[in-house]
Amino acid sequence: MTDLPVLRLRPKSKPQAIRHGFPWVFADEAVLDRRSRAIAPGGFAVLEDAERKPLGLVTVNPNSKIVGRVMDTDPDARIDGAWLAARLARALQMRERLYDAPFYRLVHAEADGLPGLVIDRFGDAAVIQPNAAWADRMADDLADALIRVTGVSTVILNGQGRARGLEGLEERMEVLRGQAPAEPVAVPMNCATYLADLMGGQKTGLFFDQRPNHAFAQRLAKDASVLDMFSHVGGFGLAALAAGAAHATCVDGSAAALELAQGGAARMNAADRLETVQSDAFKAMEQMALDGRRFDLVVCDPPAFAPAKPALEAGLRAYERVAKLAAPLVAAGGYLVLCSCSHAADLTAFRNVSARGIGRGGRRGVLIHTGQSGPDHPTLPQLAETGYLKALFFRLD
């Protein structure tokens, strides 16, 4: 039997949710007494229901609203290098079935049984985001297990972002194993080439989640003029160029991201078909409307305007404004793609404000396709947050 401390559910909580696969215990659901509060953030405990029946093994963070995260349904499990390697091997097996080249999200947190942990793979390098205290504490063990299981030689820890703040974790950025790439890494995806800055880019350096939506947009892009708003390193724009778009305009507020987009286009021998504009996206769309510019395909992939429920109302207004400003830029019979990575805004709410924004922009359209993240970002059915990405494809009259 384990000698770990115990985290017990309150009598009025619902242990069946945990038994049926829900992976979190909120602070108001647990008995937080002197003993449980003494557990160091990232430590482990046996989770029990109010009748003291074990439910599994959890990692505990008394400083977080999510006080417990289920690590294993076996309360006697030992979270060590061998356990980590087994979880990583299971995640790798699925990705190797899905993708021909080693460029993908290797670990998608709770959906891969590694709560609060994200790992993206870029060939011979991997970038880990430990957004839970246990993963931050075990970063070196994770790096060693990654090398053993995948064969990568470089492991980078990118400890930045809002999620770490919610866990009480400080920002950190370091190379755990190997050496940081001297240049941005070239990433092949949907016949396009992207450049990922693993040390200085957003998140892990590139967004793999839009891969299937890039592919669908490519069906609409041949010989088209394309506008990629909030383009980052050229996600939709470079995909469109790879599919034969006549011209693509990428707009982003980051000069560094646009430089990477230009580098990717050059690798594809498509630099002469790419225009980059460094600007606030809202101001850029307003100016393009005044200039009378029109595009066959317009894509808007903004940051998360509603990262949590308190920001939902303001976030939905922002998404509606994006649709309102983008719709007039679409040529008659053209296509508008609107994306949201806000898990707090569900598909129905996002679809409703998008349609309303299109109408307020003086246009009408039909929804031809609804996209989500790729299979390397699996969704845990019991946790809506793992299925955050939404992409709506409209054809406008």
Distance CA 148, CA 32 (A): 38
Q: How far apart are CA 305 and CA 298, in angstroms?
A: 19
Helix, strand, coil percentages, rounded to 5, for the chain: 35, 30, 35
Q: 121 vs 153, 211, 214, 223, CA distance in Å?
A: 11, 14, 19, 33
How is residue 318 annotated by DSSP?
A: H
Answer yes or no: are the C-beta atoms of 161 and 202 closer than 8 Å: no
Tokens matching residue 322: 């994006």
For β-strands 43-48 and 225-229, DSSP reports them as unpaired
Give the whole-angstrom CA distance, residue 128 versus residue 370: 29
The two beta strands, 225-229 and 295-300, are: parallel
- DSSP letter (8 states) at residue 30: B
Active-site hit among 250, 300, 339, 341: 341
Pairing of strands 125-130, 225-229: unpaired
Residues 61, 41: Cα–Cα separation, whole Å: 4
Does the active-site annotation cover 341? Answer: yes
Q: What is the pairing mode between strands 43-48 and 54-60?
A: antiparallel
DSSP 184: P
In angstroms, the first-to-last Cα distance of the chain is: 67
Cβ(238)–Cβ(193) below 8 Å: yes
Nearest C-alpha neighbor of 123 from the set 181, 182, 201: 181
Residue 60's H or E segment, with its range, is strand 54-60
Q: Give the largest CA-CA distance in the chain.
A: 72
- Give the residue numbers annotated as catalytic, written as ranges: 341
